[in-house]
A and B are shown apart, each in its own frame.
Chain A
């Protein structure tokens, strides 16, 4: 029983949060902060796979998030909203609940395929040169969408609210909050299973000595393919959730600024630490909200904090350790496979 404490409290937490939101104990604003937190956790843990575990420097995570956001949005809008492409919605709103996870999955899958733009060059390219490729990938995505008039181009794309209303029509609970919480748990669960397996440990082996990895039977190209596609796919999931929280997307919400934000979270939390990336995503989201009164000046304060962090604790909050390495007693409360 004690071994399941963590899992039980996790699901109890989700239940309580949803209930509190349902009965108006936590207001819309707090709900949106929590949802943003979840999206940021997905982004930072998934980028950590590449920047932390694999030791590459991907600075185009926003681009993959953008792919996921647009693909899932286009799917739900075509299915459930009146739109200028197909006219009337294809499905009745009562099906939104079942179609929404599929739309999210579609977004993630296309984002994973988009990850190939970086994964294939990574076979031969490393370090700074690969970083430039990731940057290019980010620009390609943003510019391509800017030029697609059919999905709004630079004006953005909207109409996703119909899907959320469709779900609420079926059962009136804060669906988006629930989806974000599930998406977050799913992401961390998936990544944790991957990085603790012998297969997944081939990823840090590449970071620490790629030649030794290849000689010791690790198919480095396959590992890079998995790492980049998993990372960009999960960024796509975050994008899909983000788009449906706001009900509106604009290509420029996913430009290099977004990618930088995610990178800051990864370096703040510690490379190669899932609990670190989770913790820093929560902290970062809170920090952004707390500093909101500073308005644009917060973009002076936050980078300054980053400089101080790099000076005094360059390994990030957690280093490359997990929470359970620092507090071994925690291990009593869970039994993850």
Chain B
């Protein structure tokens, strides 16, 4: 059984077809890229997977569960985590708290447990705190644990956002333009980080990315979309020589 299965996914906004008959199947521990020109519908695909939009047609299955009608937090608890194009950390909460709150679904205690500080509450909170510190340690963020994210550099914020997504212990991690706005040394760091995550955790990573350096050095499979439709799907070498892709990015050379 594949981890993620998307069949005939279509989403229309009024007369505009943002995503048209999109299909993909992802297995465990893959590393895949979704590329395409601006406005090609890449982020819409991610928003459909995470439950922000409901598909107009077609369906999404995660770990064998159809996500139809699910709200985003329910999809997340199936093991899907994501980051955003612009960083969306909780700016007024410490880095540590950011990584604690993201484990909300794992809290699992009732309001009464919370008021009475029951054994269950104490156990769950200790577990959440332990996971948070472990992750901060592993991702070299420990020294920033008590800082507010808005006081950190852009590169560090990106790292915190990825750490926050990883605290959900996802089996599928969606990265929406992780290298956007990073300078070249930060990009090197990001490539290393994503590779390390992929080697360390049992997770499939699917990214939207414009920087070819990131895509080519990380992904084993690339899917290209344009105007909502898939135009190519294959290994990095195949994509580099694909005529339709070159046409979509650079235009047609025939007059």
Residues of chain A touching chain B, judged by Cβ–Cβ distance below 8 Å, are 190, 193-194, 197-202, 204-205, 208-209, 211-221, 226, 320, 337
- Expressed in whole angstroms, the Cα–Cα distance for A199 and B71 within the complex equals 19
**A209 touching B90, Cβ below 8 Å:** yes
**A217 touching B71, Cβ below 8 Å:** no
Q: What residues on B are CB-neighbors of A214 within 8 Å? A: 71-73
- Expressed in whole angstroms, the Cα–Cα distance for A218 and B92 within the complex equals 17
The residue in A197, A205, A209, A216 that gathers the most chain B C-beta atoms within 10 A of its C-beta is A216
Interface segment among B20-28, B34-42, B111-119, B212-220: the answer is B111-119
Closest 4 CB pairs between A and B?
A: A217-B105, A216-B102, A212-B88, A208-B90
**A208 touching B76, Cβ below 8 Å:** no
Interface segment among B93-101, B134-142, B244-252: the answer is B93-101
- Given A211-B88, A217-B77, 11 other A-B residues pairs in contact with their CB atoms under 8 A: A193-B114, A197-B107, A197-B125, A199-B104, A201-B100, A208-B92, A215-B50, A215-B82, A216-B104, A217-B168, A219-B73
Q: What residues on B are CB-neighbors of A211 within 8 Å? A: 52, 88
The residue in A197, A204, A214 that gathers the most chain B C-beta atoms within 10 A of its C-beta is A197
Q: A193-B115, A214-B71, A217-B168 are in contact. Are A201 and B93 (CB under 8 A)?
A: yes
Q: What residues on A are CB-neighbors of B106 within 8 Å? A: 217
Q: Indicate if B206 sits at the interface (CB-CB under 8 A).
A: no
For chain B, the count of residues having a C-beta within 8 Å of the partner chain is: 38
Q: A217-B77, A218-B104 are in contact. Are A197 and B88 (CB under 8 A)?
A: no
Q: What residues on A are CB-neighbors of B125 within 8 Å? A: 197-198
Q: Which of B101, B117, B165, B168 contacts A201 (CB 8 A)?
A: B101
- Expressed in whole angstroms, the Cα–Cα distance for A263 and B107 within the complex equals 32
Q: A193-B114, A193-B115, A201-B100 are in contact. Are A212 and B90 (CB under 8 A)?
A: yes
Q: Which of B52, B89, B114, B168 contacts A197 (CB 8 A)?
A: B114
Q: Indicate if B144 sits at the interface (CB-CB under 8 A).
A: no
Q: Which of B111, B124, B168 contacts A216 (CB 8 A)?
A: B168
- Shortest CB distance B117–A (Å): 5
**B109 touching A199, Cβ below 8 Å:** yes
Closest to A230 in B: B111
Q: What residues on A are CB-neighbors of B117 within 8 Å? A: 193, 337
- Expressed in whole angstroms, the Cα–Cα distance for A202 and B82 within the complex equals 18
Closest to B165 in A: A216
Q: Indicate if B84 sits at the interface (CB-CB under 8 A).
A: yes
Q: What residues on B are CB-neighbors of A219 within 8 Å? A: 71, 73, 104-105
Q: What residues on B are CB-neighbors of A208 within 8 Å? A: 90-93
* 21 examples of A-B residue contacts, CB within 8 angstroms: A190-B115, A197-B121, A199-B107, A201-B93, A201-B97, A204-B90, A205-B90, A205-B101, A208-B91, A208-B93, A209-B88, A209-B89, A212-B88, A214-B73, A215-B50, A216-B81, A217-B77, A218-B73, A219-B104, A220-B73, A226-B111
**A205 touching B168, Cβ below 8 Å:** no
Q: Indicate if B54 sits at the interface (CB-CB under 8 A).
A: no
Q: Indicate if B171 sits at the interface (CB-CB under 8 A).
A: no
- Expressed in whole angstroms, the Cα–Cα distance for A218 and B105 within the complex equals 7
- Shortest CB distance B30–A (Å): 22
- Expressed in whole angstroms, the Cα–Cα distance for A178 and B111 within the complex equals 27
